[in-house]
Amino acid sequence: MSIRDGGSIPSIYNEEGRMSEKKNRIIVDIDNTLWDFASVLYGKISHYGVPEPSEWHGDFYKRYFSLEQLMTYVDEIHNEQDDRYPPFPDAVNFLSSLRKKGCHITIASLRNPNKRDVTEKWLKVHGLVYDELYLVPDKSILFDNHHAIVDDDPRTLDKAIIKGLIATGLKFAWNKNSNHTLFSRLTDVLEHLNKSDCCRD
């Protein structure tokens, strides 16, 4: 159950009741972090004359349609998300490597909470390991119990830095001019997290 659905903020205690180390807790985004959401969205909205994702910045869509229209397309993509939409080639290894190092992986997304079932199915179908899944309106409500975040949204990364988290992710047109440490592949993100001593062996 998501926080928006009345669930609680993730506990800092593990199943045995022992406090889990904040250092080992990492938040990982889904869209444009574990898979190429932007390209699929572009396929849905290109007929509006929207530029390609390589030119997207901020609220690029406002010139073409409303937020409500955008969310209709976003929800449609999430409903369709199955084996047709594979993760990035290094996504499985990225998550499994974090798990092997002892990381507690919290998958967090801003997507509609009623997409939880299809989201869980997609993660399972593609072998993407995680410990908790939260569909929340604002990921910052998870920050107090986590040490790092991997995300593409510069606004989310800004909030994470203020809270003292290690903040990184993949580089895209909409975040490349931010001051965050971003990379072209999840393999490089993993190396950065390892150097930052994000998780313990």
Using one digit for the tens of pLDDT, what is the confidence trace for 44-78? 999 999 999 999 998 899 999 999 999 999 999 99
Q: Which of 187, 154, 183 is closest to 170 using CA atoms? A: 183
What is the rounded CA–CA span in Å between residue 179 and residue 97? 26
104-109 vs 132-135, strand pairing mode: parallel
Beta strand spans in the chain (E): 25-28, 104-109, 132-135, 148-150, 166-170, 181-183
Q: What is the pLDDT of residues 107-131, one digit of tens each?
A: 999 999 999 999 999 999 999 999 9
Q: Which domains does the chain have, with CATH numbers?
A: 22-36+88-195 (3.40.50.1000), 37-80 (no CATH)
Beta strand spans in 56-194 (E): 104-109, 132-135, 148-150, 166-170, 181-183
* DSSP-assigned beta bridge partners for residue 25: 104
Q: What is the pLDDT of residues 162-184, one digit of tens each?
A: 999 999 999 999 999 999 999 99
pTM equals 0.89
Q: Are 96 and 77 in contact (CB under 8 A)?
A: no
